[in-house]
Chain A
């Protein structure tokens, strides 16, 4: 289907000529998010500048049954912002203003297109910052962060997006503007704020956000510990948490990741180590020094082969530089990589990493591990060559096995990147048909016509059958008496 000139004119009348893109060359930019293996050229992109325009466009689309895919900065890693056929892309990039910064209440009120990092940059003048810091923070938008419940290196201590938002304004598909949350810490009735966060653009379009800001900590220290086996590193991570320490960040990189980043940014990592653990502590000087003593004792007891503490801010930045540039660094050693996002109970870290490595051998693919170890959030990067026929399919198959392993050990298929278009098959593994049906009924309460980001995040049980995947609970298929439709 393509849009009638009349429909395009209606959109132009609502948001202005310049804010409607129908020219195929300019549409190309919007054909995928950061998961570029999945693409769909959109037929129309609309870029509203105000909340009223968002409401009007959604009303128009609802009246004409046109699907809508919201898009922030397009850094998503699950194909969530990928256009759908017959629909428009609603880009929020023109709504980029910081509407208010309130140091007394420690809040910032933002339009959805504000970049994540811009919030902390603006708050710094008041000694405040916004804690959730996805590695993509220079580019990703706060609206996209809300839609994905984004996490970051510091969410072990300071929480995910959902823990740091006070209020959002959400436009539902019929154009209604809802205010969820409030100026305080909670609101009566159902917690629609928590529900909307992480809903991947399926329930409404986020047009305004109030986030909570935190005071900057006076002292930060970063420690690097090297290990001669990845199992030891995994065990050390589990021990740190078990001991009651709550580091601001606790990350793990395997040897392949160490080598790739070292070649890229020269962070000074020990090249021979099988794994390194990066641990950040923050707080009052006395707190950091007490925690640092405990941390060092624990790491020694867990056979760290080397422990380094960053002596100053610049060395601290160098320690982190390697971690933060890990994805692009891996991008240099392989023509393509495919990033997984499963989360597992920490006690299984060592064994799951071992199994992933065995699986990779079986698929004859290389996997690089660099991840949020403190919360058990794995990011295996599967290296492949997109120019070789069948190589991506192989990477996808390995990825699927890895995520299913995460579910099998009591974890989940996605910790922070979302399901999008990518993990629909694994949703069928993680959830039973009745649970998927419940999700779909919930979705209909907000969007009865199913026009917002259709075909993403929640598969229908029918789709699961098509994908050849079914939730298997304790080895039993649900409803064994039924034919597999």
Chain B
């Protein structure tokens, strides 16, 4: 797709939608349509033609691109300079766009060690539900002028506005990466992850797939090799493939039947009834669960350890998230503050 700025036509489309009271369903690459609640709008707003990198200066560690830019294209451009999006975002399909990536706010295996999608967002340009083009944040690392709207947009699933442009901090690629694997039981794997995380090993991923604990080391070659020597274990030659398949949910685990739940909780939390059935990422702080268990009971057990459960891919209606009523109320108010006519993605984030 050749670079072009469609801000003005997109703005017009939003103004028309407001005037005609016709809500819009925002579509980037349509790779994550399953996520975040079913959108009920009949009219669509397509972002993929609003694309192109606006500014990328490797020495500034910042990239700014239009929301329709393909994630793959951005990854490639960065890789040419040996840089990367350190939150390792999942694509879930060849068409994934930058806008969809930030709107969903999902991060991959490196997240627990390098930071999340929202951690790397520096600024954005949006169109709000009044059809106004607004800019927040910027291209610099530190910026506390005004409320942090750019981070608020991350994970908001387009319900607060249409993302037009996004500036992200990027990081240098590690010189070397190496994956070590250990055959362990669930309990020992969880224990080992906690032990490792308490020491300053150069970790960049830790996951357990029910058979093997895998850890990824990143950094200068000498440092990675030294750490690997001290840690022992077998080098997994297919490590890169494993992390990719974990990120893209292509491992065998994800093919099992049942709803896919995403459990975000303290790494040391133990869920005796559920853990043996989980795929564990982020050193224990993220657990994937394929199950037919009732939503309420999952919410109860995760809530009890201060975490959050979310039905990531499922069949039941309106069961995906549970929020405290006061929190729900304020989120509703916030949504109206950006989109008073409820034009954007009705049905997504069910409040």
Contact = CB atoms under 8 A, between A and B. Distances in A.
B58 A242 contact: yes
A215 B264 contact: no
B132 A287 contact: no
Nearest to B137: A412
Interface residues of B, number: 88
Contacts of B145: 412-414, 419, 423, 426-427, 430-431
Contacts of B321: 188-189
Interface string B306-319: 11101000000000
Interface string B107-147: 00001100110110000000010001011101111111111
A75 interface: no
A285 B222 CA distance: 9
Contacts of A244: 82-83, 172-173
A192 interface: yes
A346 B59 contact: yes
A418 interface: yes
Nearest to A242: B59
B331 interface: yes
A345 interface: yes
A188 to B, nearest CB: 4
B134 A432 contact: yes
A183 B309 CA distance: 12
A183 B154 contact: no
A266 to B, nearest CB: 31
B346 interface: no
Interface stretch (B7-15, B42-50, B247-255, B334-342): B334-342
Given A241-B59, A345-B139, A442-B147, A183 B266 contact: yes
B80 to A, nearest CB: 14
Contacts of A375: 140-142
Contact of B144 (A148, A215, A216, A432): A148
Interface stretch (A56-64, A159-167, A325-333): A159-167
B327 A189 contact: yes
A323 to B, nearest CB: 17
Contacts of B333: 444-446
Nearest to B324: A179
B58 to A, nearest CB: 6
Contacts of A245: 172
Contacts of B202: 283-284, 287
A160 B137 CA distance: 15
Given A162-B151, A187-B308, A442-B334, A435 B194 contact: no
Contact of B198 (A183, A215, A435): A215
A380 interface: no
B323 to A, nearest CB: 6
Interface string A431-446: 1101100110111111
A155 to B, nearest CB: 7
Given A190-B334, A347-B57, A182 B151 contact: no
Given A238-B59, A347-B57, A347-B60, A417 B144 contact: yes
Given A283-B200, A375-B141, A415-B144, A185 B282 contact: yes
A127 B196 CA distance: 13
Interface string A387-415: 00000000000000000000000111111
A412 B138 contact: yes
A191 B105 contact: yes
A155 B140 CA distance: 13
A361 interface: no
A346 B169 CA distance: 13
B285 interface: yes
A160 B61 CA distance: 17
Given A105-B267, A284-B227, A414-B143, A188 B148 contact: no
Interface in A153-208: 155-156, 159-160, 162-163, 167, 172, 176-180, 182-192, 194-195, 197-199, 202-203
A106 B286 contact: no
Contacts of B221: 290
Given A149-B144, A286-B223, A442 B197 contact: no
Interface in B182-225: 194, 197-202, 219-223, 225
B236 to A, nearest CB: 21
Contacts of A386: none
Contacts of A336: none
A151 B66 CA distance: 29
A182 B330 contact: no
B307 A183 contact: yes
Contacts of A256: none
Contacts of A156: 141
B265 interface: yes
Contacts of A241: 59-61
A324 to B, nearest CB: 19
A239 B61 CA distance: 12
A159 B333 CA distance: 30
18 contacts: A163-B115, A167-B306, A184-B266, A185-B282, A190-B152, A199-B148, A246-B172, A283-B202, A345-B139, A412-B140, A415-B143, A432-B134, A434-B134, A438-B134, A438-B337, A442-B147, A442-B149, A442-B334
Q: Which 5 A-B pairs have the closest CB atoms?
A: A242-B59, A244-B172, A183-B306, A184-B264, A415-B142
Given A183-B269, A190-B156, A215-B198, 11 more contacts: A128-B198, A148-B144, A178-B324, A179-B327, A183-B307, A190-B335, A195-B148, A343-B140, A376-B141, A438-B149, A445-B337
